[in-house]
Amino acid sequence: MENNSYYERAADGNSYFRVMRSHNNSIAAHFHNTTELIIVLDGTERVVINGVEHILHAGDIGVSNSFDIHYYEAVDTSEVYVVMLSDAYIRHFREAFGTRLGNFLPNNKNTQEIIRLVERLFAAQYDGNPLVLTGYIDVLLGTLHDAYPSEPSRDGDGGKVVEILRYIEDHYAAKLTLKSVAHKFGYSETYFSALFNRFVGMHFKDYLNRLRVSRAAVQLKSGDRKVSDVALSCGFESLNTYYRALKKWRPKV
């Protein structure tokens, strides 16, 4: 999977649901209202949620709750399921238990049952029967609740960083610098840089250039605009700076 937009708006539909099986799964830092589970079937996966890193092995589960900032990276090799459940499904969990799942759930005696439920969900998403789908989701969430300690329901951690990322998303074409964004949100440059690196996993400038490259790629698909015009409209100071960033952050196809 590849994600070039850190606020993944497509995953915030009212009834968004998806199960994916992925080999050597790696994805850049992103966030959304949807709850996302990564379940390691084989190998090793590095998972960072709200700046906290865990190395997950077979049977371990990472849970990114609403607006948790998260990213993944395969370590050597891995096979995983990624399950994405919109707030429409998670709302039942909150109403029933008044809690939310913890971010890191270790392999235990219930893991194989959880994996079997996800396998059924993987097949059910193509059957088109919403009752069967909702039923499996409810059973999965109930099993997770019984298998692991949960925590008080609350908004996603890292809310301030989410606010910062949204600001960058909305103003990427402007003259943004680490200094200007740090000042806007009331941080010193040193503290802001450390905070940003911890949650997003890359330097502010790299993040901004990657976002700008991805936006330029979308605009260039129409084929009716000059590269130089698109580069400037996406915030690059010159065509040369655009090409340098493109060389490093060219979107994968």
For residue 62, how far is the Cα from the chain centroid?
A: 12
8 Å CB contact between 50 and 104 = no
Query: How would you classify residue 239: left for phi > 0, otherwise alpha for psi between -120 and 50, otherwise beta?
Result: alpha
Rounded Cα distance between 252 and 233, Å, is 22
Take residue 231 and report the two structure tokens written for it.
């580069």
Angle, vertex CA 114, rays to CA 93 and CA 41, nearest 5? 130
For residue 151, how far is the Cα from the chain centroid?
A: 21
Greater model confidence, 150 or 155: 150
What are 51-72's pLDDT values in tens digits? Answer: 899 999 999 999 998 888 899 9
Distances (CA, A) of 212 to 53, 60, 215: 27, 35, 5
Best CA proximity match to 41, nearest among 94, 143, 112: 112
- Please tell me the pTM assigned to this model: 0.73
165 has pLDDT over 90: no
Dihedral angle sign, alpha carbons of residues 81, 25, 66, 10: negative
232 has pLDDT over 80: yes
Average the pLDDT over 155-176 and give the result. Answer: 81
Q: Which residues lie below 8 Å from residue 131, measured CB to CB, with a gap of 6+?
A: none
- The pLDDT-based confidence of 216 (bands split at 50, 70, 90) is very high
Average the pLDDT over 231-242 and give the result. Answer: 94
Greater model confidence, 252 or 173: 173
- The pLDDT-based confidence of 238 (bands split at 50, 70, 90) is very high
23 has pLDDT over 90: yes
8 Å CB contact between 141 and 133 = no
Dihedral angle sign, alpha carbons of residues 195, 236, 163, 89: negative
What are 108-147's pLDDT values in tens digits? Answer: 999 999 999 999 999 988 877 888 888 999 999 999 999 9
Distances (CA, A) of 130 to 125, 135, 141, 238: 9, 8, 16, 51
8 Å CB contact between 192 and 185 = yes
